[in-house]
Amino acid sequence: MQDFVTLNPLIILITPFIFYIMNIVRYLKPFVFALECIKLMVIALIIIIQGNAPGLFIKILLAAPGALFPLMALFIWLDTERYKEYPPLFLAGKSIGIFLLLGWFIIFRQVTMIGSVFGLAVYAEGILIFGDLLSAGAVLLISRDIKRPEPEMEEN
């Protein structure tokens, strides 16, 4: 009985925070969808602005798989229970993208070019990484909120 009395104030303090997180998750689903749509539109705009540059078709081919992320975010928003397999895929894809961009920073030493003309590319890539981190964190919270089915016990 003593243990329950010592934990009771802790439970009282944590309960409002848990309900606060549950309300946030409801708003995170459209936020992730909007963030992924904006990111895809910005990438498409950058490709379109380049005009008829050489290698444009290859850039379009490399950007096309990015359209899967807004679709996954849309399905997660519409019916989380039905598409409960999508958040781990979303997180895996975002993790790959984040590590590739960080590798790009390190391998091509773009961090040292911040003062030069090409420094703007570093800021753009930093914004992309920040957006990926935001959407990955939001999907992580959403995936924690999904009700998992209880494992069935085998009867002998």
In a domain, 150, yes or no: no
- What is the sign of the dihedral through the CA atoms of 73, 75, 78 and 83? negative
* Structure tokens that stand for 3 in this block: 């243990």
Supply the DSSP symbol for 116: S
Which residues, at least 6 apart from 116, have a Cβ–Cβ distance to it below 8 Å?
none
| Domain enclosing residue 80, as ranges | 2-145
CB atoms within 10 A of CB 70: 19
In a domain, 64, yes or no: yes
In a domain, 151, yes or no: no
Taking the complete model, does pTM exceed 0.95, yes or no? Answer: no
In a domain, 34, yes or no: yes
Q: From first to last of its 156 residues, what are the pLDDT tens digits of the chain?
A: 444 445 555 555 565 555 555 667 778 888 889 998 988 888 888 777 777 777 777 777 777 888 889 999 999 888 888 888 889 899 999 898 888 877 877 776 655 555 555 556 667 777 888 888 988 888 888 887 776 555 666 665
| CA–CA separation, 26 and 34 (whole Å) | 14
* Structure tokens that stand for 37 in this block: 């749509």
Number of domains in the chain: 1
